[in-house]
Amino acid sequence: MDNRSVVITGAVQGIGRAVVLKFANNGYSVAINYRNPLKESEAKALAEECSKISGREAIAICADVSVPENCKFLIDETVRRFDKIDVVVNNAGIMKYSLLHRMSDEDYRQMVSSNQDSVFFMMKYAGKHMLKKKSGSIVNVASVAGIYGSSALSVYSATKGAVIAMTKSASVEFARKNVRVNAVAPGMVNTPMTNDFTAEEKENMSSNIPVGRFAEPPEIAEAIYWLASDESSYITGHVMEISGGLK
Ligand SMILES: NC(=O)c1ccc[n+]([C@@H]2O[C@H](COP(=O)([O-])OP(=O)(O)OC[C@H]3O[C@@H](n4cnc5c(N)ncnc54)[C@H](O)[C@@H]3O)[C@@H](O)[C@H]2O)c1
């Protein structure tokens, strides 16, 4: 394979980390984005691990992708280091539980900026680059909550619904320039995001999932990789539910 490169946001832990390792295992140069400067050594260690696996360069870039200028920087810096970007995985996101009428304005704005603004700005700047070179593939991480809604997750669901709508619209705009845009909609996944649930709460939730358990991050990464790769070359504007049947 020619030297392909990928940018993954929110990538030091959880689903993002599994996606990083999946692309490295398939020979990609990987740009690992993380937000918290305290995670620098963890991000750099992951980049080193990727280089060993892929034999390609891997870089760690600290940037809060809810800020437009940072998304531009993340794309520009990756192009500077790798010459081009073939794939973007917009994975960064936060989830805050609250009934709608008790949700704080601050939590509302944080979810909109980290989950929705980030995807818009990353697609805007990556899109300019990919449309110019007439190739690319973008995979956005939404949620089944963005399709069906979920109690105490109205704002989170709304941001993920927006990601799905942007995915579908951008896929039509970008299609003639050979740039595909798809999304995955995971159900419940064992990551730091769901670590706060007690074992009992997880058991109760699992009983409502048709397959009877949470997903593991590599099960989501597998689908993201496939949607990004040439193996799915005729698929665009698609939202793949990876939820063990959970609606
Ligand atoms: N875990 C689940 O059950 C589940 C289900 C459906 C969808 N998702 C989605 O999957 C994605 C990954 O989540 P996860 O479960 O791995 O959770 P996680 O909390 O382990 O990872 C999310 C990562 O995104 C980063 N992040 C958040 N906002 C950011 C920002 N503004 N800039 C840069 N990085 C930022 C966090 O620092 C964290 O490293 C999220 O978009 C989440 O909404 C998760």
At 140, phi and psi to the nearest 5? -100, 140
User: Is 65 a pocket residue for ligand 1 (Cβ < 6 Å)?
Assistant: yes
Residue nearest to atom 43 of ligand 1 (CA): 93
How high is the pLDDT of residue 127? 98
What would the pLDDT profile of 185-237 be if each residue is shown by its tens digit?
A: 999 999 999 999 999 999 999 999 999 999 999 999 999 999 999 999 999 99
Average pLDDT over residues 128-137: 98
For the chain, which residues make up each domain, given as ranges? 5-242
| pLDDT single digits (tens) 143-196 | 999 999 999 999 999 999 999 999 999 999 999 999 999 999 999 999 999 999
Give the tens place of pLDDT for each residue, 67-93: 999 999 999 999 999 999 999 999 999
Ligand 1 in reach of 244 Cβ (< 6 A): no
Is 80 exceeded by the pLDDT of residue 2? no
Report the residue among 65, 121, 191, 219 best suited for mutation to probe ligand 1: largest number of ligand atoms under 8 A from its CB: 191
Mean pLDDT of all residues in 105-123: 98
Are 221 and 191 contacting, i.e. CB atoms less than 8 angstroms apart? no
Minimum CA distance residue for ligand 1 atom 36: 10
Give the tens place of pLDDT for each residue, 16-37.
999 999 999 999 999 999 999 9
Average predicted confidence (pLDDT) for the chain: 98
What residue's CA is closest to ligand 1, atom 41?
A: 93
Beta bridge partner(s), residue 136: 179
* The model scores a pTM over 0.85: yes
Dist. CA 176–CA 174, nearest whole Å: 6
- Under CATH, domain 5-242 is a member of which superfamily? NAD(P)-binding Rossmann-like Domain (3.40.50.720)
Clarify whether 156 is annotated catalytic.
yes
Distance, CA 63 to ligand 1 centroid (Å)? 14
Going edge to edge, which strands form the sheet with 239-242?
A: 58-62, 29-34, 5-8, 87-90, 136-141, 179-186, 239-242
Residue 1 has pLDDT above 60, yes or no: no
Cβ atoms of 62 and 40 closer than 8 Å: yes
Element spanning 140, H or E: strand 136-141
